[in-house]
Each structure stands twice: as C-alpha cells, then as structure tokens.
Chains A and B, each alone.
Chain A
C-alpha cells in the first residue's frame, strides 16, 4: 500500500523567502509524482508533474525534485509572494491517485 506524507503540515514565512515543501512515499515503484496547489474553497491546479525517469522539473519560481530511491520529493519555491499562499498537495498514481495531507503555506507581506 502506498502512503504519502507531507511535512510540514503548515508553514508561515515572510515574503521573499525561499522555501521547501517535502513529500515522502513508501513505495518507490511509481510512474510519476504530481504537485498541486489548492486555494481555499477551490479545486486543484496542477503545478508540476515529474516522471519516474526524471529527477526534477521547473516552472517559473517552482522547482520539484524526485528521488525515488529514498522515496522523497521536494517542492522548492523561490522568492515567495503573498499570492503563493495556498495548500500544496503531492500525489502519486498508485492504482488510484494517492494524496498527501497537504502543506498549508502562508506568505505574509
């Protein structure tokens, strides 16, 4: 059974800081890993998808890395902005899409 864990559960940082969100998984036999963003009361927006053969993916200020052997992925956000405040979820397709519990990020001015 695949279990996905995200640490920390919540994070509050001042604007401009670089930050790292962590995602760990128990079964390294994955096809890909996806990072999502969810604003309060809204659906999910896909941020980055890393295939199992890749080590990282970048989109703007976001960089996601994947280390299958250690069962870890990180989402790095550079120069954080108040608009980055949201819940960030990582998910792995394992028969079904299995989500971590999410990290609630607050970036204050």
Chain B
C-alpha cells in the first residue's frame, strides 16, 4: 500500500514552453502533498506544500507564478513549470502525506525535466 506515482517520468522541452507534472496517490487519499526539487548531487529541497482544495504554500525563494500547483482532488496534485528555462532543469519529486498517527510521507519516483 501507500503508492505514489508521477507522470511523466522524464520530459524534454524547449525553453519557453510549459510542462505539467502529475502526482497521484494510488491507494490512499492525501489531503497534503509536497513538491521537491533536487539538483545533481544535492539533497531534496522543498518547493511547496499542496493542500487539497486550497492554495499551495510556497517556500521562500520559489516563484509561485512560475511553479503553478493545483491539488484538485484527494489523489492528484499537479505542478506546472511555466515558461521553462534551462535553469529549471532538475529532478522533481512529489510526496503524499498519510494520516493516522505516523504522518508518514510517501514519495513518488520523480520526474526528470530537461529544458533545452
């Protein structure tokens, strides 16, 4: 149980285009999902917290107009990188939070974004 999927697993796009990444909790409902970014040889950095039915909370330094987050249902959150540039190339990982005492985050497999 507690499986989180991401789609696509990798994407290559041209500079200036927008890319949407989906994060789904497959066998549980998640009122809270998180989006992380990981640059090569670095640890995960939290970008934003996505709450179902409300606006996402962004970490300091993350542009909310560039990284659009939508959490329209209890099993799906999307991250849209708008007007992508080469510096946005990174590994994007989502996680979904379970409840029930342990508040454990389950992570998706990640999406590799390459902007040419």
Which A residues fall within an 8 A CB radius of B? 31-32, 34, 36, 41-46, 49, 51, 89, 93, 96-97, 99-102
CB-based nearest B residue for A89? B43
Query: Is the beta-carbon distance between A93 and B103 smaller than 8 angstroms?
Result: yes
A-facing residues in B62-107 (Cβ within 8 Å) = 91, 93, 95, 102-107
Query: Is the beta-carbon distance between A101 and B43 smaller than 8 angstroms?
Result: yes
A contact residues around B42 at 8 Å (CB): 101
**Contact of A97 with B108 at beta-carbon distance under 8 Å, contacts A31-B103, A49-B102, A102-B43 already known:** no
Interface size class of chain B, counting residues whose CB lies under 8 Å from the partner chain: 20 to 34
CB-based nearest B residue for A6? B43
Query: Is the beta-carbon distance between A46 and B43 smaller than 8 angstroms?
Result: no
Query: For the complex, would chain A's binding face be called helix, strand, loop or mixed by DSSP majority?
Result: strand
Residue B8, interface by CB 8 Å: no
Query: Is the beta-carbon distance between B46 and A96 smaller than 8 angstroms?
Result: yes
| CB-contact partner of A97 in B34, B91, B110, B112, under 8 A | B34
Residue B44, interface by CB 8 Å: yes
A-facing residues in B3-55 (Cβ within 8 Å) = 6, 34, 42-44, 46, 49
B contact residues around A43 at 8 Å (CB): 6, 93, 107-110
Distance (Å) between the CB of A70 and the closest chain B CB? 22
**Contact of A99 with B43 at beta-carbon distance under 8 Å, contacts A43-B109, A43-B110 already known:** yes
Query: Is the beta-carbon distance between B104 and A49 smaller than 8 angstroms?
Result: yes
A contact residues around B112 at 8 Å (CB): 41
Q: A41-B110, A96-B34, A99-B43 are in contact. List 5 more A-B contacts (CB 8 A).
A: A41-B112, A43-B107, A96-B59, A100-B43, A101-B43
